[in-house]
Amino acid sequence: MEFSSIIFLRMAAVVFSLLLLVQLPRTLAFDLGIQSKVCGTDHVAYLNSHGYELFYINGDVVDKDVFCKALKVYYANNCVFEGHPGSNYCGLNLPLVELPANAGRKILRRLIQEESTIDNLNNHEREIKHRKSALSPKELFENLKTEFRSEVELLAKIDHRNLVKLLGYVDKGNERLIITEFVPNGTLREHLDGQRGKILDFNQRLEISIDVAHALTYLHLYAEKQIIHRDVKSSNILLTESFRAKVADFGFARLGPVDAEQTHISTKVKGTVGYLDPEYMRTYQLTPKSDVYSFGILLIEILTGRRPVELRKSTDEKVTLRWAFKKYNEGNVVELVDPLMEEVVDTEILNKMFGLAIQCAAPIRSDRPDMKSVGEQLWGIRMDYVKSVKRG
């Protein structure tokens, strides 16, 4: 009863914030199609709700600089803009006309190629890492060396069964290599895609969630110095033969605040689209709660089997968090469960799992629990699940 009350009280504080997130399409300040012989057809959207901004090009989240540069490229090529309520953004007076949409994304492809390196993992996952075009080759090389040494130093400080172990490294001349323990059973994403044969059952998914929660709790609270992972995602979760989870890839990890009075560190945004904390993207302030947000997205992914952004889905289902919250709010959690998982799970258990995931993915960091609390709540859910299985 006490556990249920905690969930209810915290969810009450989160629901309003997430309703704003679900309503983002209705608070569009900028939503337009673009068409010309040069441009092809693209969709650009600028969303603003209570000062929280998101910029999209064809469903992909981009930063403001890329967004404005895209508009300027379209504008310079005499592209025609249609269907948005305003007429001025990024310092441009945009020409409007009503035209039917046709296929084609020439300008977008060119812009993304110039501004980003797209790492398409497993032909599905899009991770956009913006190039530092202003840096000289020497400066870029030095930055890569710094990132490498940072990862080595962080890995050397950690020792936990749910984190990959550092066995050694090579740093000689232009050669850099990190040697970690071998985890033989592939990534969590591969298992969710069914690439490893047997589909994960609910108990395995719950245990994996608990393992990841334990790993992040250790990094945030019990490591020699607080570590924020910054890239928690399904392709960075490795599974052992017994389906224990190990969190990998510390390339984006950062040490947390050193001063006890310091609440955050200010840093450039790094991570993977779909898992990124919106408050971190907006303020450039990184805290352990950024990992909590990513974990919430991951938990929804584990339960639904869907990636954070599903570009091939209908508009209502493209952003998995928004789709999941809508279904959860309507009381249709059974419809959220991964259809590949042919197992009937108690609705109360599903409500608690999705409720916790949505709480972690609250748009405002103060509404999110810390990872220790998340782990404790998952243990409570596990106990309830075991009881429900015994009842049959």
Catalytic site residue 193?
no
Whether 135 shows a pLDDT value over 80: the answer reads no
Contact predicate 287/264, CB 8 Å: yes
What pLDDT is stored for residue 333 in this prediction?
95
Residue 56 — very low, low, confident or very high, per pLDDT cuts 50/70/90?
low
Q: Supply the pTM of this predicted model.
A: 0.66
Whether 369 shows a pLDDT value over 90: the answer reads yes
Q: Which has more pLDDT, 249 or 153? A: 249
User: Which of the residue ranges 39-43, 322-326, 350-354 would you say has the lowest mean pLDDT?
Assistant: 39-43
What are the sequence ranges of the domains in the chain?
28-121, 184-391
User: Which of the residue ranges 16-30, 130-144, 193-207 would you say has the lowest mean pLDDT?
Assistant: 16-30
Q: Which has more pLDDT, 127 or 79? A: 79
Of residues 250, 220, 207, the one with CA closest to residue 232: 250
What pLDDT is stored for residue 243 in this prediction?
96
What does the pLDDT average to over 25-53?
48
What pLDDT is stored for residue 9 in this prediction?
42
What does the pLDDT average to over 306-312?
92
Helix (H) or strand (E) segment spanning residue 276: none
How far is the C-alpha of 349 from the C-alpha of 199, rounded, in Å? 20
Residue 132 — very low, low, confident or very high, per pLDDT cuts 50/70/90?
very low
Q: Which residues lie closer than 8 Å to 158 by C-beta, 6 or more apart?
A: 166, 218, 219, 223, 227
What pLDDT is stored for residue 356 in this prediction?
97
Residue 84 — very low, low, confident or very high, per pLDDT cuts 50/70/90?
very low
What pLDDT is stored for residue 70 in this prediction?
76
Whether 346 shows a pLDDT value over 90: the answer reads yes
Whether 122 shows a pLDDT value over 70: the answer reads no
Whether 55 shows a pLDDT value over 60: the answer reads yes
Q: Which has more pLDDT, 1 or 344? A: 344
What pLDDT is stored for residue 2 in this prediction?
44
Whether 279 shows a pLDDT value over 50: the answer reads yes
What does the pLDDT average to over 383-390?
92
pLDDT, mean over the chain: 76
Helix 288-304 and helix 347-360: axis angle, to 10°? Answer: 150
Catalytic residue among 60, 211, 231, 249: 231
Q: Which has more pLDDT, 4 or 367? A: 367
Residue 13 — very low, low, confident or very high, per pLDDT cuts 50/70/90?
very low
Residue 68 — very low, low, confident or very high, per pLDDT cuts 50/70/90?
confident
Whether 303 shows a pLDDT value over 70: the answer reads yes
What pLDDT is stored for residue 128 in this prediction?
38
Q: Where are the beta strands (DSSP E) in the chain?
A: 28-36, 40-49, 52-57, 60-62, 80-82, 88-89, 92-93, 116-121, 125-130, 166-172, 175-180, 227-228, 237-239, 245-247, 254-255, 265-266, 285-286
Q: Which has more pLDDT, 170 or 15? A: 170
What pLDDT is stored for residue 137 in this prediction?
57
CATH class, 184-391 region: mainly alpha
What does the pLDDT average to over 361-367?
94
How far is the C-alpha of 113 from the C-alpha of 130, rounded, in Å? 10
| pLDDT tens figures, 215-254 | 999 999 999 889 999 999 999 999 999 999 999 988 888 8
Residue 301 — very low, low, confident or very high, per pLDDT cuts 50/70/90?
very high
Whether 258 shows a pLDDT value over 90: the answer reads no
Q: Which residues lie closer than 8 Å to 152 by C-beta, 6 or more apart?
A: 166, 169, 171, 178
